[in-house]
């Protein structure tokens, strides 16, 4: 039986607009008792906020079913520091979801002392002072953790700069590359795979973005399904396959077509 790691924006919704058949797709998974998780590069929201947003659009979701890049960043640091009480201070550039994830992992957030980690996500109150402190701390030995490299985010029918745009300034000034947690890095997907407890060959990453969802799924060793409801379009596919030397395992015009494909397996 397959399991699914499902992207959100562009796959199940666009901002506050539910994508056609999104609720039906989740209901279909539940009726067949197929395991799944929602996996998002968005670090600004807590799992409760993400699930609440989904429920407002009529898509059934619980906080425990949500993996964010903020949660994965906190888990990465937790695993690399173990149970020791030292080496667990963080300078945070980010919003509520990331802050809550770090605190829940027992990490200490500080901005007046040299931290062990600089953790950066989307921050719509990013300032020159924050840039200055982040670069200073990184050059003094803090490890730089980036929740996700998205350059732009959909917002109100347009787009706004994402965490990757902020990261560009920190990388340029510091000359240091971060550990990237979210897609297309496999780190967050690997943590989600552990939760599903299925063989890799049975897990499908479903998403709308070739450069994040599909690349991330491939990097983690999962199978991948591209739905043409968001960022990537049919015209992008040939160019992407030539550039990457690989292809999604499945391409569907929409979620209804995706359901029809998997009906033959269950």
**Which residues participate in catalysis according to the annotation?**
7, 9
Strands (E), the chain: 3-6, 13-14, 17-18, 36-40, 66-68, 89-93, 108-109, 117-120, 143-146, 152-155, 158-161, 179-180, 203-207, 223-227, 250-252
- Are 207 and 37 in contact, with CB atoms under 8 Å apart? no
- Cα–Cα–Cα angle for 211, 216, 221, rounded to 5 degrees: 135
d(CA 246, CA 227) in angstroms, rounded, equals: 16
Q: State which H helix or E strand residue 172 sits in.
A: helix 163-174
Q: Are 117 and 77 in contact (CB under 8 A)?
A: yes
CA 239 vs CA 6, 22, 193, 214: distances in Å = 24, 28, 29, 14
Name the residue with tokens 């070739």: 210
67 bridge partner residues: 39
Collect all residues with Cβ–Cβ distance below 8 Å to 85 and sequence separation of at least 6: none
How many angstroms separate the CA atoms of 90 and 87, rounded?
9
Q: How far is CA 157 from CA 55, 154, 227, in A?
A: 21, 7, 20
CB contact at 8 A, 84 and 33: no
């Amino acid at each position: 039986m397959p399991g699914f790691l499902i992207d959100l924006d562009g796959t199940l919704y666009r901002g506050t607009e539910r994508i056609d058949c999104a609720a039906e797709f989740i209901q279909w998974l539940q009726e067949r008792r197929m395991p799944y998780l929602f996996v998002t590069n968005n670090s600004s929201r807590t799992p409760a906020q993400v699930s609440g947003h989904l429920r407002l659009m009529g898509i059934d979701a619980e906080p425990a079913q949500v993996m964010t890049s903020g949660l994965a960043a906190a888990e990465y640091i937790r695993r690399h520091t173990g149970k020791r009480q030292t080496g667990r201070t963080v300078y945070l550039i980010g919003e509520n979801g990331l802050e809550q994830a770090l605190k829940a992992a027992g990490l200490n957030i500080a901005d007046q002392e040299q931290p062990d980690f600089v953790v950066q996500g989307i921050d719509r109150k990013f300032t020159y002072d924050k840039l200055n402190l982040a670069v200073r701390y990184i050059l003094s030995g803090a490890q730089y953790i980036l929740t996700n490299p998205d350059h732009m985010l959909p917002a109100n029918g347009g787009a706004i700069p994402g965490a990757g745009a902020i990261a560009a300034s920190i990388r340029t000034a510091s000359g240091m590359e971060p550990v990237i947690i979210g897609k297309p890095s496999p780190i967050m997907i690997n943590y989600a795979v552990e939760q599903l407890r299925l063989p890799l060959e049975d897990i499908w990453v479903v998403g709308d973005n070739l450069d994040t969802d599909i690349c991330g799924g491939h990097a983690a060793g999962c199978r991948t399904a591209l739905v043409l409801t968001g960022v990537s379009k049919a015209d992008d596919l040939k160019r992407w396959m030539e550039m990457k030397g690989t292809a999604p395992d499945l391409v569907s015009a929409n979620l209804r077509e995706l359901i029809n494909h998997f009906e033959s397996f269950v």
